[in-house]
């Protein structure tokens, strides 16, 4: 008597033979994956108990909480920030009133690279792609009438993350909210800036010191804060594959954990506050598999490589943002559908929080109307679709389980290669990660240009369109207004206290055993500016110069 597997194999062979005859007459669409059908044979070697298991149970393939969204929905965290602190504050309060359950702060380019609005390098960029924050005075306005004891805030800030976190803590103090009650996340992921995004300031070694200083300080003083959001999002936006996204990001995570342990921290004292940031791309089923594989890999890394004992240290918690690179300027209303599908992938993949991009973001910063549609997309998926009612609903799918295994295997191969190079920092310094991303991005673009990959409205189904009306434009006078505010603030502060705080920070920077967070917080409280604080660190640490690979 044949075994069950032999029976399935025989039936599969018969099916394939009949299909090949049909395909000879009626060819399949070009550029499809080679395998058309998945069966139990594709997951015959998967051990359910060890590899899949149950939600909230190691290796967390099916989710990090036992009941997932049956307890409460993911945090609907809309990314926003533009122009001045006053304008962004209005948008934050609008989002909260519209049902957003968390805030996500976008900062302008000068803020992201540690320059004040009155610096010559900031000319023309103030308030353009995010809000301009020069000092504690701006941060106070940004969160005016927003109770920091009740809201969870994420800040997309990396090189100067320590300074923006210090400003947030200082605002909370003024509101009467203790630091140990604050909830939120700073991105604080400098390695992906070197590899994919570009808003770095200092070289890798002092940057890693700042990150581990934040780990240590927050573990003792801001225990509910996620001290880093290790980001694959920007790696994917730069052109990586799904497997590369999680492999390069988890390798960065390994580097951060190693740096913290080297600095004397116990892994279980900080690892539970590490979080990740993934991209929700267009291939819905592949994305679900990617999210599942990432949890499994991180759990194994933390348990087997770093010998963590606490379950929380092994749980990969992540924020998701829908794919900005997949938004099209052509036929922008199509982006609503793209974002809805990406939202479904994030939810079925078990995200902890989600930002949905707006339909017009390929053209400009989003209008309030567009942001409302993006937020309502999340709310419709949550309350009407049924996708959040069952945990890990695609588990058991032969295709999804097989794809989860495949992405995991590809990611492990990359992680092994990066280990052989000497870790993520060395791999970035040698250009390996950048080159892999560039090659994948080139292949994607060639496929789009050849038509092998169809983007609706871009290389197929094009139409003649009128220019889009009603786009949000940042007032060109924002830069001058910000300069005037900054000058007024500097004239009214205690400049002797500022000088003393900056001198103390400079001395601390020169002592590698000193945690810089208390000194940065001390400078922030005197209303020392972001540019002044980063200027002191530039003086001691120097600046990073990118390596170009040809």
DSSP 365: B
Mean pLDDT over each residue of the chain, to the nearest integer: 95
Q: Are strands 274-280 and 75-80 parallel, antiparallel or unpaired?
A: unpaired
| pLDDT the model gives residue 361 | 94
Domain boundaries, the chain: 54-450, 478-541
Report the chain's C-alpha Rg in angstroms.
Answer: 24
Tallying the residues shown for the chain, one arrives at 550
| pLDDT the model gives residue 545 | 87
pLDDT at residue 219 tops 50: yes
Mean pLDDT of 288-316: 98
| pLDDT the model gives residue 100 | 85
* CATH class of domain segment(s) 54-450: alpha beta
Mean pLDDT of 90-109: 91
Mean pLDDT of 405-425: 98
Mean pLDDT of 305-330: 97
pLDDT at residue 270 tops 90: yes
| pLDDT the model gives residue 549 | 56
Kindly write down the DSSP assignment for every residue of 260-305, as one continuous string. HHHTT--HHHHGGGEEEEEEE-S-HHHHHHHHHHHHHHHHHIIIII
Q: How far is CA 250 from CA 16, 207, 228, 410, in A?
A: 38, 18, 13, 13
Residue reference for tokens 């003086």? 539
Q: Are 438 and 239 in contact (CB under 8 A)?
A: yes
| pLDDT the model gives residue 80 | 82
- The rounded distance, in Å, linking the Cα atoms of 50 and 224 is 31
- The rounded distance, in Å, linking the Cα atoms of 207 and 193 is 11
446's tokens: 């060639």
498's tokens: 């500022």
pLDDT level of residue 548 (50, 70, 90 thresholds): low
Q: Which of 306, 492, 323, 402 is nearest to 42 (CA)?
A: 402
Q: Which residue has the higher pLDDT, 541 or 550?
A: 541
Q: Which residue has the higher pLDDT, 541 or 472?
A: 541
| pLDDT the model gives residue 1 | 41
pLDDT at residue 88 tops 60: yes
SS3 125: coil
Q: How far is CA 38 from CA 45, 47, 427, in A?
A: 14, 17, 36
| pLDDT the model gives residue 476 | 79
Helices (H), 324-473: 334-348, 368-383, 398-421, 424-429, 432-450
pLDDT at residue 17 tops 80: yes
pLDDT at residue 192 tops 60: yes
pLDDT at residue 154 tops 90: yes
pLDDT level of residue 287 (50, 70, 90 thresholds): very high
Kindly write down the DSSP assignment for every residue of 434-458, as one continuous string. HHHHHHHHHHHHHHHHHTSS--BTT
- The rounded distance, in Å, linking the Cα atoms of 483 and 234 is 31
- What region, left, alpha or beta, does residue 540 occupy, with left being phi > 0 and alpha being psi -120 to 50 degrees? alpha
pLDDT at residue 419 tops 50: yes
Mean pLDDT of 271-280: 96
pLDDT level of residue 2 (50, 70, 90 thresholds): low
Mean pLDDT of 187-213: 94
pTM: 0.93
pLDDT at residue 180 tops 60: yes
Mean pLDDT of 383-408: 98
Handedness of CA 28, 33, 34, 35 (dihedral sign): negative
DSSP 460: B
Mean pLDDT of 400-423: 98
Mean pLDDT of 461-474: 90
């Amino acid at each position: 008597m044949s075994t069950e597997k032999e029976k399935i194999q025989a039936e599969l062979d018969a099916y394939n033979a009949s299909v090949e005859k049909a395909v000879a007459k009626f060819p399949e669409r070009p550029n499809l994956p080679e395998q058309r059908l998945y069966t139990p044979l594709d997951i015959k070697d998967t051990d359910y108990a060890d590899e899949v298991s149950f939600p909230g149970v190691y290796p967390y393939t099916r989710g990090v909480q036992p009941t997932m969204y049956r307890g409460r929905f993911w945090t609907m965290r809309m990314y926003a920030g533009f122009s001045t602190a006053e304008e962004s504050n209005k948008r934050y309060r609008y989002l909260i009133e519209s049902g957003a359950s968390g805030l996500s702060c976008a900062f302008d380019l000068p803020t992201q690279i540690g320059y004040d609005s009155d610096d010559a390098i900031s000319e023309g960029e103030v308030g353009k792609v995010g809000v301009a924050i020069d000092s504690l005075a701006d941060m106070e306005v940004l969160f005016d009438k927003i109770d920091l004891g009740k809201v969870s805030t994420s800040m997309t800030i990396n090189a100067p993350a320590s300074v923006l976190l210090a400003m947030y803590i200082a605002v909370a103090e003024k509101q009467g909210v203790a630091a140990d009650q604050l909830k939120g996340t700073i991105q604080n992921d400098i390695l992906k800036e070197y590899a994919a995004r570009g808003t770095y300031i200092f070289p890798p070694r002092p940057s890693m010191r700042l990150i581990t200083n934040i780990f240590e300080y927050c573990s003792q003083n801001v225990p509910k804060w996620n001290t880093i959001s290790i980001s694959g999002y920007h790696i994917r936006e730069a052109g990586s594959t799904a497997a590369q996204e999680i492999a390069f990001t988890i390798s960065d995570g390994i580097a951060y954990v190693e740096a913290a342990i080297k600095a004397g921290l116990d892994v279980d004292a900080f690892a539970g506050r590490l979080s990740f940031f993934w991209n929700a791309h267009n291939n819905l089923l592949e994305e679900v598999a990617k999210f599942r594989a990432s949890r499994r890999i991180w759990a194994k890394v933390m348990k087997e490589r770093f010998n963590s004992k606490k379950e929380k240290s092994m749980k990969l918690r992540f924020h998701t943002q829908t794919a900005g690179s997949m938004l099209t300027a052509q036929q922008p209303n199509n982006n609503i559908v793209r974002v809805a599908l990406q939202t479904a992938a994030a939810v079925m993949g078990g995200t902890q929080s989600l930002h949905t991009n707006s339909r017009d973001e390929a053209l400009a910063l989003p209008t309030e109307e567009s942001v409302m549609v993006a937020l309502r997309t999340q709310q419709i998926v949550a309350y009407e679709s049924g996708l959040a009612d069952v945990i890990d609903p695609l588990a058991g799918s032969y295709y999804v389980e097989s794809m989860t295994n495949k992405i995991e295997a590809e990611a492990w191969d990359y992680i092994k290669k990066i280990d052989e190079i000497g870790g993520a920092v060395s791999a970035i310094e040698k250009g390996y990660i950048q080159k892999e991303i560039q090659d994948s991005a080139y292949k994607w673009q060639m496929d789009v240009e050849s038509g092998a990959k169809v983007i609706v409205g871009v290389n197929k189904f094009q139409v003649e369109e009128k220019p889009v009306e009603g786009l949000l434009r940042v007032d060109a006078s924002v830069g001058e207004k910000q300069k005037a505010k900054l000058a007024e603030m500097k004239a009214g502060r205690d400049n002797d206290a500022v000088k003393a705080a900056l001198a103390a920070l400079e001395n601390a920077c020169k002592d590698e055993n000193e945690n810089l967070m208390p000194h940065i917080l001390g400078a922030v409280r005197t209303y020392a500016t972001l540019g002044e604080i980063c200027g002191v660190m530039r003086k001691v640490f120097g600046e990073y110069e990118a390596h170009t690979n040809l």
